[in-house]
Amino acid sequence: MSLTPQNISDIRASWQVLAADADGFTADFYAALFRRDPALRPLFAQTDLPAQRKKLVAALALVVRNADDLSAVLGPLEEMGTRHVGYGVKDSDYTTVGGALIETMEAHLQEGFTAEVRDAWITAYGAVAGTMMAGAQAAEARKSA
């Protein structure tokens, strides 16, 4: 899966705005996530949320940095998906996460959250989530074998 040059430009420009208040953005993301699905909160019961927010920023920055060639991040994303199986993450949770992410971006970018920016992030998130789910499915298959 590849992003168009316009997708890449939109993602990078919007990320600069989001990254300027990365902690606020990620705090709002987790608030939106737990509001959308309170059943996800227990998955984070033993998690240092400020540290988790930094990990989310790093993961998003990695995708933004490699937006012109996502093949560089496929391995790490598959491994992340494998780890998430152990945390109890289900495929359906990726939809909830994506919705919370887009909702939070819209709130932070306001008028800068154009239809094009929305589409670019949805495309990028789809690639990320799909790769993570593939890693999770491979891990499950290895356990069953």
pLDDT in tens, 12-63: 999 999 999 999 999 999 999 999 999 999 989 888 999 999 999 999 999 9
Domain with residue 78: its CATH number is 1.10.490.10
Contact status, residue 10 vs residue 120, Cβ threshold 8 Å? yes
- Output the pTM of the full model: 0.91
- Per-residue pLDDT, 30: 97
- The band of 1, judged by pLDDT with boundaries at 50, 70 and 90, is low
The SS3 of residue 71 is helix
Which distant-in-sequence residues (6+ apart) come within 8 Å of 116 by Cβ? Answer: 6, 10
Domain count, the chain: 1
Q: What is the mean pLDDT of residues 65-90?
A: 88
Tell me the pLDDT tens digit for each residue of 23-33. Answer: 999 999 999 99
| Alpha-carbon separation of residue 57 from 6, 19, 36, 139, 142 (angstroms) | 22, 8, 20, 25, 30
